[in-house]
Chain A
């Protein structure tokens, strides 16, 4: 079965510092990976996704993630964080079964806290 491990439950960081949120997944033939962000008292929003092609994917707000097949990782990075990046971040893998059907398997989340 597919699984996702987010290695840090909480990451405190100062504003304008770089940050890396770590995510490892269980190996599978076809891998589709996602990062979602949840701001306080809101639902989840897609931040970025890897389906195929370039192993480095970027979001519109400065985050990027790199798919590393050999290390089965999909770490999320940002070179300089803002207070507004404070949120919980979820890594997810799409688990396929029986043709094109499948579901997202989520990690337990990493709470990013950006301090002034």
Chain B
């Protein structure tokens, strides 16, 4: 299995509270991604990173920010959590694309509940 961990694995918080989710990899992969998974929507990309301090927005980035100060860590922050951000969050990593896309490896997920 690819070395990807997510912390915390479960979190319950209240509306308006800041929340930070951490993704840590031991594979030295260049690309890292944050997705959210909701019933009936599949996985939707929130933000991604293509290198240290290089990040960009995905499909559903409103209300989220990210940071990547080291190759191995990619942080997702909800500045002020809302109930609509209750979801399961997955981190993924992949290596340089080259002539085509390489496989994305997924972490175990973080279940976030915003009350």
Contact = CB atoms under 8 A, between A and B. Distances in A.
Q: Do A and B bind?
A: yes
Given A43-B90, A101-B50, A103-B48, A90 B42 contact: yes
Interface residues of A, number: 25
A interface, by DSSP: helix, strand, loop or mixed? strand
A90 B40 CA distance: 12
Contacts of A49: 103
B41 A108 contact: yes
22 contacts: A42-B109, A43-B90, A43-B107, A43-B108, A43-B109, A44-B92, A44-B106, A46-B105, A51-B101, A52-B100, A90-B42, A90-B43, A94-B101, A96-B101, A100-B96, A100-B98, A102-B97, A103-B33, A103-B45, A104-B43, A106-B43, A106-B44
Interface of A: 6, 9, 32, 34, 36, 42-46, 49, 51-52, 90, 94, 96, 100-104, 106-109
